[in-house]
Amino acid sequence: MSDMDTQDTQRERELSAPEIPAEAEEGGAVLGAVVYFSSASENTSRFIKNCHLEKQGINVYRIPLRPKEPALNVDEPYILVVPTYGGGNPKKAVPVQVKKFLNDPANRAGIQGVIASGNTNFGEAFCAAGDMISAKCKVPFMYYFELMGTQQDREKVTRGVVDFFTRRKTAQANTAQS
């Protein structure tokens, strides 16, 4: 591919701004990112907002709900937070909006792990979206919670996300030194 082709490709894929940008410390870099989806019932959105991940240096991106909205394009490593749909039909467990986002190879390249939500009323299908994405994208299924989650869920997810990206950063720094 020529340089011209590369530039054109980059121009076509305009990167999205975070819905909630990380509050990086002065001179400090962004630690990591979370990408989430939430439907009109907004349970996952409320969960994410109550985690205040931006205060921990985490960029938060939201996958658009409606097809008319501009597509989400990310180029940084992220953990995906996804509610389960489909009512027990495995083909529909992952929301179409999330499938569309992950069908873009450039977006899929950044996924590091998945956190799923759901409702225990769905029995066997509880949080099935996490199993499906974990298997398809070959990333760990890191955590699951019900509906808007509890205070304990929020604490565990926030700590888990921060620890994951801190360890990743340390490992990269060690590799760069050796």
Ligand X SMILES: Cc1cc2nc3c(=O)[nH]c(=O)nc-3n(C[C@H](O)[C@H](O)[C@H](O)COP(=O)(O)O)c2cc1C
Q: Which residues bind ligand X (CB under 6 A)?
A: 38-39, 41-45, 83-88, 93, 117-119, 122, 125-128, 147
Q: Is 23 or 146 the residue whose CB approaches ligand X more closely?
A: 146
Q: CB of 88: closest distance to ligand X in angstroms?
A: 5
Q: Which lies closer to ligand X via its Cβ, residue 21 or residue 88?
A: 88
Cβ contacts of 59 within 8 Å, gap of 6 or more: 18, 20, 21, 22, 30, 32, 33, 34, 76
Which of 116, 34, 23 has its CA nearest to residue 78?
34
Residue 111 φ then ψ, to 5°: -70, 130
Distance CA 127, CA 105 (A): 24
Residue type, 32: G
Q: Closest separation between CB of residue 7 and ligand X, Å?
A: 38
Compute the least distance from the CB of residue 89 to ligand X, in Å.
7
Nearer CB in complex with ligand X: 57/130 = 130
Neighbours of 122 (CB within 10 A): 16
Q: In whole angstroms, how close is the CB of 43 to ligand X at the nearest point?
A: 3
Of all residues in the shown chain, the one whose CB is closest to ligand X is 118
| Closer CB to ligand X, 28 or 88, in the complex | 88
Q: Rounded to whole angstroms, how far apart are CA atoms 33 and 21?
A: 9
Q: What residues pair up with 117 in beta bridges, in sequence order?
A: 83, 145
Residue 6 C-beta: closest distance to ligand X, Å: 37
CB of 118 to ligand X, least distance (A): 2
Q: Is the dihedral of CA 70, 28, 77, 125 positive or negative?
A: negative
> Given the complex with ligand X, which of 111 and 127 has the nearer CB atom?
127
Q: Nearer to ligand X by C-beta: 31 or 82?
A: 82
